[in-house]
Amino acid sequence: MPWCPNCKNEYVDGIKECADCHVTLVEQLEEDFVPVIFGEEEEIYKLNTFLEANEFTKAIIRPSEEDNFFELVVPASLEKRVKQMISVYSMHKAKTEMTNLNHSDDEMESAESDENPLRPNQSMKSSYTTQKDKAENYKTSAYTLVSVGILGLVFLVMALIGMFPVRFGILTYLIMGGMFMLFLVSGIASYRSYKKSSQDAVMENHLSKEIMEWCKGNLNPLNIDQVFETEQIPDEVRYFKRIDRMKECIRETYLNLDEGFLDALVEEIYPAIYDDSEGNI
C-alpha cells in the first residue's frame, strides 16, 4: 500500500500522488526513531527482552551520549505505546524487588531464631498481668475518674448559681450530674480495687521469691531433661517439654497456682537455668 511521505496518509494501490500534498507516494515510509529511555546496558537489554516478549520488536538499542549508558529508541509513531509498556515493566520490577526484600527479611528473622531455638520469641511471651501492674492500673483509673467527677460536679454547681454565663435546662443538669456522679463512684470503686491489688501484689511478690528460691535448689538441666532425654525431638519441641516439666515440678510443691502466674514465672526462670553454665538461678 502506498503512503504519502509528507502527511503520512495511506492510499489504495494504483494511486501515485497524494491528493492533499500533491507529492509522489512511496511504498514504505521511513520512520523517525526517538529515544524513550536510557540506562545501564544490562537493564536496557532486560527491558528490550520484556518488550519482545510482548510482541514489540521494533526497538533499537544504541550507545547513549552519556558515558557507559545505552538508550532504547523506537519509531516516533509508537513512542506513547512503548512508554506505557515501560511503565508496566517498572511497576512489575518494583513489585518483584519488594517481594524479594520481604523474603530476605523473613529469612534473616528465621536465621536469628535458629541461632537459639531453645528460647521463645516475643510472640510466645506470657500475657499475664502481675498484681503490681493491676494495682497501678487501678490507681491511675481511680485518680482520673475521681478528678473528672469532682471537677464536673463543681462546674455544674458553679453554673447553677450563675458564676458562668451558661444556662442549662433541668434535664441537662440531671443527665450531666448523673454522669459525673457515675465517674466519681467508679473512681472510688477503682481505688478500692487498687488497695486490694496492692495487698495481693505484696503476697504475689513474696510467693515469687519463695518459688525462685525453691527452683534454685531443686531444678537444673539434668533433672528437667532426664524425663525425655532419650527422645529424638526437635529443639523447639524440647523447649516446650522443658517448660511443661518445670511447671509440673513446681505444681507438685505449690498447689493451686494461677496458670498465668505460673507461665510468667517459668518464663523468667527458664533462661536463668539454661543460660547459666552451672544451672544456677
3-state helix, strand, coil in the chain (%, to 5): 60, 10, 30
pTM above 0.75, yes or no: no
* Per-residue pLDDT, 116: 44
The amino acid at residue 130 is T
* Cα–Cα–Cα angle for 17, 19, 23, rounded to 5 degrees: 40
Q: Show the cell assigned to 181.
A: 456522679
* Per-residue pLDDT, 149: 92
What is the spatial distance between Cα 229 and Cα 127, in angstroms, rounded to a whole number? Answer: 30
* Per-residue pLDDT, 257: 86
Burial 32-55 (b: 16+ CB within 10 A, else e): ebeebbbeeeeebeebbebbeeee
CA-closest candidate to residue 253, choices 219, 203, 202 = 219
* Per-residue pLDDT, 230: 60
Q: Which domains does the chain have, with CATH numbers?
A: 1-30 (no CATH), 36-92 (3.30.70), 130-274 (no CATH)
Per-residue pLDDT of the chain (281 residues; tens, 9 = 90+): 677 766 667 778 888 888 887 778 777 666 677 888 888 888 888 888 878 877 776 777 878 776 678 888 888 878 887 887 787 777 767 766 666 666 555 555 554 444 444 444 433 445 678 888 999 999 999 999 999 999 999 988 888 888 877 777 888 889 988 999 999 999 999 999 999 999 999 999 999 999 988 988 888 888 888 776 666 666 656 777 888 888 888 988 888 888 888 888 888 888 888 775 444 44
What is the spatial distance between Cα 59 and Cα 56, in angstroms, rounded to a whole number? Answer: 7
CA distances from 266 to 13, 40, 69, 233, 273 (A): 92, 58, 63, 21, 10
* Per-residue pLDDT, 119: 42
